[in-house]
């Protein structure tokens, strides 16, 4: 058994094709921007390389056949078959986003192959045919693999294309089990180049297939993420991705839309492109949501008549009997003594949300109708218009952005009354109690569930932080990959 090592003569220069994707002027509105930082891109690259390599091997190469002239032996027909790459190791890799596309280079890659060899010859000395066969193993070292990927927006989904792909083998060493000594040199001389280019071709082809699959995975991403039965988030990509030297940015529509195909309310006409700025530059991902996203949710649920409910149970049930209002609205008690009451709360306009550096303000116009229950009939007796102002806070719950509000203040005015004038200053403490113990808990139970941030399924946010700035909320986070079928299915090799 002997090992011979020589340098392959094949050189494939990996040229980065400069295909500058000219940026189309923004024609559509985007209210959510996602930026993947260099750290995020590295994370995805490592994930893909690990997965991709696991899925490449074992890789069969086509049979190689050749007749070589060997000194003192003559013409020998040699055949290599059952050539299999069974192991690939990538020693280092890097990814660099750039204007021309995203360049991925894996260098110092080694791979191990096994194969069957076979030869036959006849000479004038020995006119009968001589043949032999055995196994051989080949090590390919110092292989460089480079890819340039293009990303563009195609009708609202991401299109990934392979702009350039190259694989260059530097060293090959062949180890032959059995056979005659002349065979080693003969094999090296005759097959080195061919094995090298077979490996290069096979790997290039596999990568092309891998990119195709990644592309179809991206194309298959939904354009809407369901939030609940009523709403979904429009995650249609708007404009081409913005690839800079240290990040890749995506703009998506980001607004809430109704799940039933009723036209969604159009409240916002500014052409916004929220920019993403994380204070911690090392975070993998930044997602910026314009306040329009929250206001689109507010408009949608308002249209869905979600924002209306009746209250017939409160923590202090005496508040829902006219007896409890005896001294506050004496005429109510006189007219309907000891009758149960019900409160009918309706939003009179969609809540308005404003985000600033220091605060998330929400203001809500509510009509509060006081109903008296007589023989199971609800008799509306008065309506108080409230303007409730609260401040909100947001947090990350799983991959959701969730929130809560607390009361800042409220104003009230009498809209109509069937029981004469009401002394609002007397009613105010009761209303305060209703807002604190009924209204806010109700609202917060909905806000607490939050809505999903646009993140691909198998990834989860990790160490997220939230930054509020003028009119936008930015989530800066690392991500973790949780094994799921998605990416595995995606990278399962063709058999
Ligand atoms: C082909 O190679 C594989 C290992 O890569 C081996 O298990 C198999 O037996 C070989 N087949 C033949 C016909 O030699
Ligand atoms: C693959 O080849 C490398 C050298 O390139 C060697 O160190 C390693 O042991 C081989 N692995 C296997 C599983 O044969
Ligand atoms: C989703 O967003 C895209 C891009 O802004 C827009 O063209 C499309 O009409 C939106 N879909 C819905 C259902 O609103
Ligand atoms: C609550 O009030 C609204 C008008 O503001 C009315 O349309 C609705 O029917 C009332 N609901 C109940 C249960 O009384």
User: Are 228 and 368 contained in the same domain?
Assistant: yes
User: Are 214 and 284 contained in the same domain?
Assistant: no
The enclosing domain of 306 has a CATH number of: 3.15.20.10
Q: At what angle do helices 181-220 and 38-56 cross, to 10 degrees?
A: 130
Q: 88 CA distance to ligand 2 centroid (A)? A: 9
Q: Is residue 210 part of a domain?
A: yes
Q: Is residue 30 part of a domain?
A: no
Q: Which ligand 2 atom lies nearest to the CA of residue 112? A: 1
User: Are 232 and 211 contained in the same domain?
Assistant: no
Q: Which of 82, 114, 115, 118 to mutate to test the pocket of ligand 1 (most atoms within 8 A of CB)?
A: 82
Q: Is residue 488 part of a domain?
A: no
The enclosing domain of 124 has a CATH number of: 3.15.10.10
Q: Is residue 382 part of a domain?
A: yes
Question: Using an 8 Å Cβ cutoff, are 267 and 300 in contact?
Answer: no
Shortest-distance Cα residue to atom 12 of ligand 1: 82
**Cis amide prior to 58 (ω within 30 degrees):** yes
Indicate the residue among 221, 249, 268 that finishes a domain. Answer: 221
> pTM value?
0.82
Using CB distances shorter than 6 Å, the residues near ligand 2 are 87, 110, 112, 139, 141
Q: Is residue 27 part of a domain?
A: no
Indicate the residue among 221, 252, 278 that finishes a domain. Answer: 221
Contacts 24+ apart (CB under 8 A), 44-48: 45/93, 45/94, 45/95, 45/104, 46/93, 47/481, 47/487, 48/214, 48/491
Q: Which ligand 1 atom lies nearest to the CA of residue 116? A: 14
User: Are 110 and 252 contained in the same domain?
Assistant: no
From the number of C-beta atoms within 10 Å of its C-beta (0-12, 13-18, 19+), residue 390 rates as buried
User: Are 305 and 173 contained in the same domain?
Assistant: no
Which stretches of 221-319 are DSSP H helices?
291-303
Question: Using an 8 Å Cβ cutoff, are 274 and 33 in contact?
Answer: yes
User: Are 329 and 409 contained in the same domain?
Assistant: yes
User: Are 278 and 406 contained in the same domain?
Assistant: yes
Using CB distances shorter than 6 Å, the residues near ligand 3 are 28-29, 234, 236, 238, 253, 257, 264
Indicate the residue among 201, 221, 241 that finishes a domain. Answer: 221
Question: Using an 8 Å Cβ cutoff, are 90 and 106 in contact?
Answer: yes
List residues bridging with 363 in a β-sheet. Answer: 352, 389
Q: Which ligand 3 atom lies nearest to the CA of residue 234? A: 1
> Is 133 close to ligand 1, i.e. is its CB under 6 Å away?
no
Q: 82 CA distance to ligand 1 centroid (A)? A: 6
pLDDT of residue 375: 86
Domain range for 438 is 224-477
User: Are 228 and 367 contained in the same domain?
Assistant: yes
Shortest-distance Cα residue to atom 5 of ligand 3: 253
Q: Which ligand 1 atom lies nearest to the CA of residue 114? A: 5
User: Are 216 and 232 contained in the same domain?
Assistant: no
Shortest-distance Cα residue to atom 11 of ligand 1: 82
User: Are 261 and 348 contained in the same domain?
Assistant: yes
Distance of alpha carbon 430 from the chain centroid: 47
User: Are 158 and 258 contained in the same domain?
Assistant: no
φ/ψ of residue 158, rounded to 5: -85, 135
Q: Is residue 268 part of a domain?
A: yes
Q: CB 3: neighbour CB atoms within 10 A?
A: 11
Q: Is residue 267 part of a domain?
A: yes
Q: How many domains is the chain built from?
A: 2
User: Are 127 and 164 contained in the same domain?
Assistant: yes
Q: Which ligand 1 atom lies nearest to the CA of residue 86? A: 5
Cα angle: 34, vertex 40, 45; to 5 degrees: 120
Per-residue pLDDT of the chain (495 residues; tens, 9 = 90+): 333 332 222 222 222 222 223 333 445 789 999 999 999 999 999 988 888 887 888 999 999 998 888 777 788 888 999 999 999 999 999 999 988 889 999 999 999 999 998 888 887 777 778 888 888 889 999 899 999 999 999 999 999 999 999 999 988 888 888 777 677 777 777 788 889 999 999 999 998 998 999 899 999 999 999 998 889 999 999 988 988 888 999 999 999 998 876 555 555 545 455 577 888 889 999 999 999 999 999 999 888 777 888 899 888 899 899 999 999 999 999 999 999 999 999 999 999 999 999 899 999 999 999 999 998 899 999 999 999 999 999 999 999 999 999 999 999 999 999 999 999 999 999 999 999 998 899 899 989 999 999 998 889 999 999 999 999 999 999 999 987 544 444 443 322
Q: Is residue 31 part of a domain?
A: no
> Is 346 close to ligand 4, i.e. is its CB under 6 Å away?
yes
């Amino acid at each position: 058994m002997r090992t011979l090592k020589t340098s392959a003569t094949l050189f494939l220069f990996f040229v980065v094709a400069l295909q500058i994707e000219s940026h189309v002027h923004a024609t559509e509105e985007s209210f959510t921007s996602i930026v993947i930082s260099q750290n995020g891109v590295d994370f995805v690259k490592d994930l893909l390389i690990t997965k991709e390599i696991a899925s490449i091997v074992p890789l069969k190469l086509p049979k190689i056949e050749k007749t070589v002239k060997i000194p003192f032996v003559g013409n020998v027909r040699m055949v290599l078959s059952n050539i299999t790459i069974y192991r690939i190791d990538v020693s280092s890799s890097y990814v660099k986003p750039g204007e021309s596309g995203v360049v991925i280079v894996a260098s110092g890659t080694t791979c191990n192959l096994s194969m069957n060899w076979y030869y036959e010859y006849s000479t004038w000395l020995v006119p009968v045919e001589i043949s032999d066969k055995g196994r051989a193993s080949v090590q390919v070292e110092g292989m460089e693999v480079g890819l340039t990927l293009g990303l563009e927006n195609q009708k609202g989904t991401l299109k990934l294309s392979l702009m350039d792909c190259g694989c260059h083998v530097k060293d090959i060493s062949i180890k032959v089990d059995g056979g005659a000594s002349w065979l080693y040199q003969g094999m090296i001389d005759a097959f080195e180049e061919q094995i090298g280019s077979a490996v290069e071709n096979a790997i290039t082809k596999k990568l092309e297939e891998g990119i195709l699959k990644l592309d179809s995975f991206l194309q298959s991403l939904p354009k809407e993420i369901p939030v609940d039965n009523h709403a979904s988030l429009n995650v249609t990509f708007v404009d081409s991705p913005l690839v800079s030297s240290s990040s890749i940015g995506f703009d998506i529509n980001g607004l809430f839309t109704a799940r039933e195909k009723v036209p969604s309310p159009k409240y916002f006409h500014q052409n916004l492109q929220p920019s993403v700025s994380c204070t911690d530059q090392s975070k993998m991902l930044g997602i910026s949501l314009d306040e329009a996203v929250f206001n689109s949710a507010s408009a949608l649920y308002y249209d869905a008549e979600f924002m209306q409910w009746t209250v017939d149970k409160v923590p202090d049930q005496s508040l829902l009997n006219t007896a409890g209002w005896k001294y506050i609205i004496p005429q109510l008690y006189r007219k309907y003594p000891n009758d149960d009451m019900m409160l009918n709360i309706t939003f009179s306009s969609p809540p308005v949300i404003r985000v600033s550096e220091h605060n998330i303000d929400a203001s809500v116009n509510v009509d509060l109708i006081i109903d008296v229950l007589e023989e199971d009939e609800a008799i509306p007796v008065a309506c108080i218009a409230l303007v409730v102002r609260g401040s909100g806070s947001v947090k990350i719950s799983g991959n959701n952005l969730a929130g809560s509000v607390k009361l800042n203040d409220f104003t009230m005015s009498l809209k109509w009354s069937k029981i004469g004038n009401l002394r609002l200053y007397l009613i105010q403490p009761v209303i305060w109690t209703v807002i604190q113990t009924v209204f806010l808990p109700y609202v917060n139970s909905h806000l607490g569930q939050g809505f999903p941030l646009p993140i691909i399924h198998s990834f989860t946010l990790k160490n997220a932080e939230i930054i509020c700035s003028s009119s936008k909320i930015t989530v800066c986070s690392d991500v973790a990959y949780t094994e799921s079928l998605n990416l595995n299915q995606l990278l399962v090799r063709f058999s």
